[in-house]
Homo-oligomer: A and B are copies of this chain.
C-alpha cells in the first residue's frame, strides 16, 4: 500500500483513512463487515480490527456490536462537546448562538499562509462572527478558510448558523476535523473588540489562535477567538 517498513495494520489503517477521505463511504454510511473488509484488503480479521481500533480512537468511525461499523457523522452535539471547550464557572456545558458580522474573500496574509501552508497569494475566505451565551456576547471569532478547499463558501445563512461550523464543513465540503492545535495568551481589549463584547478598552481577554486539521492531517482552518472569561472558562485536559 505505501512504505514497506510500516506494519501491515498501519498500512491498512492508512488505506482505510484514505478511502474515507476520498469518500468511498460517506459520513453515516456503513463499512463492509469485518470478514468482508479483511478479505478485500487481503489481511486477517485480527489485523483489520487493529487498524479499525486506530480509526475509532480518532473518532473517524463508530462500531456497534450487532449493527456494524459506519463512518462517524459530525453533529453539533459532538463537535460542541469536543472542540468547543468553553464552560460555565461551575463546569456546566454551554450552547452558544452565532451572529455573523462580515464575510470576505481575499489574498491570504503572511500569518494565514504559514498557518494553512498555502502558496503565496492564495485566496482565503474570512468570516468574522460573534458568539453569545444566554444573549450576552462572549466570543469574537475571525475564521480563515482556504478557497481551494471551500469553493463557493459564503456567509452562512441563519439556518446553518445554528449548527457548529465543523458540521457544515463536513456536510458541504466533505472536510472532517479530527484535531486542533491552539496557542493561548491573555490580551487586553481594543476599542473595537471591547465594544462588541460590551467591555471597555483594556478589559482582559483570552485570545486563542487555532489551526484545525482534517483526516489527512492537512491544516484546513485558521481561527482567532477572543473570549470574555468573566462568566465562562476554557477547559483543557492533558494526559
A residues engaging B (CB < 8 A)?
58, 82-83, 85, 87, 91, 178-188, 202, 204-207, 209, 227, 229, 233-239
Contact = CB atoms under 8 A, between A and B. Distances in A.
A209 B235 CA distance: 9
A179 B238 contact: yes
Contacts of A234: 183-185
The copy count of this chain in the complex is: 2
Nearest to A187: B204
Given A204-B205, A205-B204, A206-B206, A184 B238 contact: no
A182 B235 contact: yes
A238 B180 contact: yes
Given A202-B202, A204-B205, A206-B206, A237 B186 contact: no
A239 B206 contact: no
A183 B233 contact: yes
Given A85-B238, A184-B184, A186-B207, 6 more contacts: A178-B239, A182-B235, A183-B235, A184-B206, A185-B234, A187-B204
